[in-house]
Amino acid sequence: MSIKQNLETIKESLPGNVTLIAVSKTKPVQEIMEAYDAGQRDFGENKVQEMTDKWEQMPTDVLWHMIGHLQRNKVKYIAPYVHLIHAVDSLKLLKEINKQAQKNNRIINCLLQVYIAKEETKFGLEPEEVTQILESDDFKSFKHIRITGLMGMATFTQNSSQIEREFQFLKSFFDQLKHKYGMSALSIGMSGDYHLAIKHGSTLVRIGSAIFGERNYN
Ligand SMILES: *Cc1c(COP(=O)(O)O)cnc(C)c1O
């Protein structure tokens, strides 16, 4: 199957309110342009250097999503152009994003990453920490950030009922917060679990290998 065909098949299965983010990490610009030429505009990367290189080479109407863990000292490289930062997991990082956004005269959209997996290796905030951040005076003083929603990654497992429980947990938390904090985006679902994520209210699915094929590394 071609990249274009993969995109079409996936898009047919997505409800109208769900945005497909094509996760292009490790893939060359030539392949990403195949997706672009098929009409895809939202792309996700997990490394700052790689995303910035691609941003320089690709058309300017691409919407770049930083989906990986972001280090504070690298925010400055993506601040001029990033569309949405998915995996914000500390107030310190938000503070730096706010600072760099201000320098670029922008408001940067961010999602807070919530820890939902039963795995030590995954990043994210506990629900109480999310509320603490949103209620903090620091956060309220950040004029160059908009928290548009939450992001989560389920446990890497074949057990779909566990994945569903984790997604549902995040969805319930999201529903508690969304009106109060004006959130609209729930970023859950990857190649292996996006059908389950949609069932549990995803509005942003991050799909890589089902579009571009398996990655050799990462
Ligand atoms: C790589 C990655 C994805 C996409 O994974 P696939 O299984 O290839 O769809 C989604 N989200 C994040 C955070 C990733 O790092």
158 DSSP 8-state letter? S
Spatial separation of the C-alpha atoms in residues 125 and 115, rounded to whole Å: 5
For the chain, the structural domain boundaries read 3-212
Of 67, 111, 198, 205, the one to substitute when testing ligand 1's pocket (max ligand atoms within 8 A of C-beta) is 67
Is 3-212 assigned to CATH 3.40.50.300?
no
Closest by Cα among 91, 82, 42 to 62: 42
Distance of CA 174 from the midpoint of ligand 1 (Å): 21
Other beta carbons less than 10 A from residue 66's beta carbon = 24
Q: Is the CB of 191 under 6 A from ligand 1?
A: yes
pLDDT of residue 133: 98
* DSSP reduced 3-state for 118: coil
- pTM of the shown model: 0.96
Tens-level pLDDT at each residue, the chain (218 residues): 899 999 999 999 999 999 999 999 999 999 999 999 999 999 999 999 999 999 999 999 999 999 999 999 999 999 999 999 999 999 999 999 999 999 999 999 999 999 999 877 668 999 999 999 999 999 999 999 999 999 999 999 999 999 999 999 999 999 999 999 999 999 999 999 999 999 999 999 999 999 999 987 65
Ligand 1 atom nearest 192 alpha carbon: 7
Beta carbon of 209 within 6 Å of any ligand 1 atom: yes
